[in-house]
Amino acid sequence: MPNHPAFLKTHGDRIQNLAGQFVTLQGTGLGGWMNMENFITGFPATETAFHQVVYRALGDEKARFLFDRYLNYFFTEEDARFILSLGLNSIRLPFNYRHFEDDMNPFVLCEDGFKKLDRVIEICSRNEIYTILDLHAAPGFQNQDWHSDNPTRQAFFWQFKHFQDRVVWLWELIADHYKDNPWVAGYNPLNEPSDPSGASLDQFYHRVVDAIRKIDPEHIIFLEGNRFSQDFSVLGPPIANVVYTLHDYAAPGFINGGPYPGITRGEYFDKTFLRDKLIKNCQYMLENQTPIWVGEFGPVYTGIPEQDEMRYQLLEDQISIYQELGANWSIWTYKDIGLQGMVSLFPDTKWMQKIQPILEKKAVLGVDSWGGVDRNIRHIMEPIEQAFAEFFPQYRPFPFDAQWQINRTVRHILLSEPLVEDFYPLLNGLDYDEIDELMASFQFKNCCPRQKLCQIIKEGTAPLNP
């Protein structure tokens, strides 16, 4: 049984530590670290595609050195102290299953995965920062998008028990490894699950929770809604000591969002609309009197002052609504190359200089779904969109619509995959010192805080134990 006062449990619709104090988890996600994403680091397509070209360009030994340096530099004691200085008390740690297991050698643990997690969890523990462990990319892909390291648009996880077995096995190992750690707030078994049938998610949740509980009966488990953490209608009655979590990205904050307050995608967005929509999306939690955790939210930034000021207002309104509801939250994301992060690499770092030609080509082709627009490739997109409108007017593919499907297929797969090859000549022939200097670009000292964003967070954080 845990006896450290920092251990967390649910208590009605709140979270409480063993000292009897209520704790509101307010934090950020460490996106791009143990689960790399294209807009965060600068490559196109998926993490696996990027890994493949790096290994071909550098060879096995140098490629392993590059990724080890990257992981070590991306988060250090300095990052933890900065996060703490903003009043934040938690970090969501996304990870890719590939750090723990090889597809060609399933159910065999790679111990190096725990070494990577342990280092950051230990840094956070020393600074009394809670961590939430988040399986962001599962074998077979739990959703249809790039951030689950999925190159296909198909979520095979829901069709093959083999993939589900491997995730349960992995969480059993994780639970055994961290069951006595009081600064691990809990386990987030699947990020943004997207089960097309809606019939398998609740069943899988009960299975993975039962497996974890047999080993670790105490830690909180964080379960997300279906369809990218939006739909809780497929879930049965709530499970004890579980926090249910939604993601709350607001359309005006997308790269192609409209004014705020104002109209985006035919809807008028203001603070009242945001509040009403959040309450609607949280009905499952409100009706069952369970805690609310907004596991991801936050706009992207355009570099255009007028547009970004509106996005800061949007962010400020969202955080104030979470305070009203007593919701826990984790903003996405902590560090990147300039689109969304709380801190971003300086433009004159070696990494930013090295990849600038690729960033320019990415912008022209609009290949990043999170930060790209298609204005330069409308001559490619329009005929396809017109064909779908003419021949498939009723087509509404899961999880969203035909436009989403077209964008993912053409821009984010067909145009992204060949572009990742541009990294080969940039990396080929580098020596160890050059690789180390490149990866050192991700150190905190080489990053610039987004001051307005950080100010909003600092002002919006309630006392850690209200």
List pLDDT tens digits, range 362-419: 999 999 989 999 999 999 999 999 999 999 999 999 999 999 999 999 999 999 999 9
Do the domain assignments include residue 270? Answer: yes
Which residues face 213 on adjacent strands? Answer: none
Quick: pLDDT tens for 280-319: 999 999 999 999 999 999 999 999 999 999 999 999 999 9
Do the domain assignments include residue 410? Answer: yes
d(CA 221, CA 368): 31
Do the domain assignments include residue 388? Answer: yes
Do the domain assignments include residue 322? Answer: yes
Q: E strands, 98-150, where?
A: 130-137
CB–CB of 242/205 below 8 Å?
no
SS3 28: strand
Across residues 249-254, what is the average pLDDT? 98
192 is catalytic: yes
Do the domain assignments include residue 205? Answer: yes
Does the pLDDT value for residue 466 go beyond 50? no
Average pLDDT, the chain: 97
**338-353: burial string, b at 16+ Cβ within 10 Å, e else:** bbbbbbbbeeebbbbe
Closest to 271 measured CA to CA, from 259, 257, 255, 260? 260
Does the pLDDT value for residue 464 go beyond 70? no
Q: Is 386 exposed, middle or buried (0-12, 13-18, 19+ CB in 10 A)?
A: exposed
Which residues face 264 on adjacent strands? Answer: 267
465 band by pLDDT with thresholds 50, 70 and 90: very low
d(CA 164, CA 142): 9
296 is catalytic: yes
Across residues 125-149, what is the average pLDDT? 98
What is the pLDDT at residue 122? 98
| Active-site annotation holder among 101, 192, 224, 316 | 192
159 band by pLDDT with thresholds 50, 70 and 90: very high
Structurally, the chain folds into a number of domains equal to: 1
| Active-site annotation holder among 37, 101, 224, 296 | 296
What is the pLDDT at residue 2? 78
Do the domain assignments include residue 412? Answer: yes
**Chain-centre distance of CA 29, in angstroms?**
6
d(CA 125, CA 129): 6
Across residues 341-349, what is the average pLDDT? 98
d(CA 154, CA 454): 37
What is the pLDDT at residue 463? 58
Do the domain assignments include residue 439? Answer: yes
* Domain boundaries, position 160: 8-460
* Non-local CB neighbours of 45 within 8 Å, separated by 6+ positions: 38, 146, 151, 367, 412, 413, 416, 417, 419, 420
3 band by pLDDT with thresholds 50, 70 and 90: confident
Do the domain assignments include residue 1? Answer: no
Return the minimum-mean-pLDDT range out of 1-5, 197-201, 400-404, 411-415. 1-5
Count of CB atoms within 10 A of residue 265's CB?
A: 11
Across residues 244-248, what is the average pLDDT? 98
The CATH number of the domain holding residue 168 is 3.20.20.80
Does the pLDDT value for residue 53 go beyond 70? yes
Three-point CA angle 192, 196, 199, nearest 5°: 95
